[in-house]
Amino acid sequence: MEDATSLLELTREFLEDCGYTVLAAGSPADGIRIVEKHKGPIPLLITDIVMPEMSGRALAEKLTAVRPSMRVLYMSGYSHDIIDRYGAMDSGQDFLQKPFTKKDLATRVRKLLDASAS
């Protein structure tokens, strides 16, 4: 889930290049619809924290309520201090700072998926 179209497409491309299946959404409403319609497992939600319509935290809370095994990776271009100050994310949650490299993303995703499997 990423509201910046160019970053959404780049992230999707990075993940597909790593062999992952990606359900990409450009808005929280689209993300919710996709998750509701998708019949298979969704092991990981990657979401921007600051978006129009709904925060990444609110989106994650809504989606993990119906898919409790889904892990969440938050990402943002804002510093972790600013995110903490506005309560957009709890301390200790998985976070990826923008901009990130393909390697950064792939490493973090693999770590979260491996943790889910164990």
If one counts the domains in the chain, the total is 1
What is the pLDDT, as a whole number, of residue 15?
98
What is the pLDDT, as a whole number, of residue 116?
79
Let me know if 21 is exposed, middle or buried by CB neighbors in 10 A (0-12, 13-18, 19+). exposed
Integer Cα distance of 30 and 115 in angstroms: 27
What is the pLDDT, as a whole number, of residue 4?
94
CATH number of the structural domain spanning residue 67: 3.40.50.2300
Q: Tell me how long the chain is.
A: 118
pLDDT (tens digit per residue) in 70-104:
999 999 988 777 777 655 566 568 999 999 999 99
What is the pLDDT, as a whole number, of residue 36?
94
Low-confidence ranges of the chain (pLDDT < 70): 85-92, 118
Q: For the chain, what is the radius of gyration of the CA atoms?
A: 13
Place of tokens 């990657």: 46
What is the pLDDT, as a whole number, of residue 85?
62
To 5 degrees, how large is the angle CA 58–CA 23–CA 98? 60
Residue 69's DSSP bridge partners are none
Determine the structural domain holding residue 54 and report its residue range.
5-117
Enclosing H/E stretch for 58: helix 56-66
